Every structure is written in structure tokens, then in C-alpha cells.
Amino acid sequence: MLELRPSCEACTKPLPANSSEAMICTYECTFCEDCALHVLRNVCPNCGGNFERRPIRPRAMLAKHPARHEPFHAEIDQTEHSVLVERYGATLPADR
């Protein structure tokens, strides 16, 4: 089950459980749409994968399985991320 992390790991923008701006990779690294698509150029700085919109959990299910409340902020190493962008940036996500 998705953790539904509460904020962007790069800029710390709040991303509540019902946010349509939350983007995740397959490891649930969570970023706002602006950071995921423009700053990180659709390449996760942790795994090199792409980002997709995080699904919104229905309210009834949030009552049973609440979103995570503790924020997580990741320091993104721009040099390491540049290597990932160079390696994967021009490759379609399905071919990475």
C-alpha cells in the first residue's frame, strides 16, 4: 500500500493525500509536479526511474489506512542526478 508521503522531497511543498500534483516513482519517492517534471526532468534522483501521478486514495479508505504524516526531505546531489539524466533522460521509461 502506498505511504502517501505528505510533501515534496525536493522543495517540501505540501502534498496532502488528495493532491493532484503529487508524482511518484516505483519506490514511492514523492515530488511535486514542478520538481518531478521540470527540475528533475522526469528522472528520479534515487533510482533513475520515471514519475507518474500518485493515485488519490478514497476518503473512506483514508480513514482505515491514513497517509503518512512525517515529512521526508532528500538532499539531491545535482552531480549524481546529472549522470542519471544523461544516462536515462532521452530513453523512454519503459526502456530504461
Which residue, chain included where needed, has cell 503529487?
22
pLDDT in tens, 23-34: 999 999 999 999
- Decide: 54 and 22 in contact? Cβ < 8 Å: yes
Q: Are 38 and 23 in contact (CB under 8 A)?
A: no
Q: For residue range 41-65, what is the model confidence (pLDDT) as tens digits?
A: 999 999 999 999 999 999 999 999 9
Q: Which three cell numbers stand for residue 27?
A: 519506490
pLDDT score of 88 more than 90: yes
Domain coordinates in residue numbering, the chain = 22-90
CA of residue 71 relative to chain centroid, distance: 13
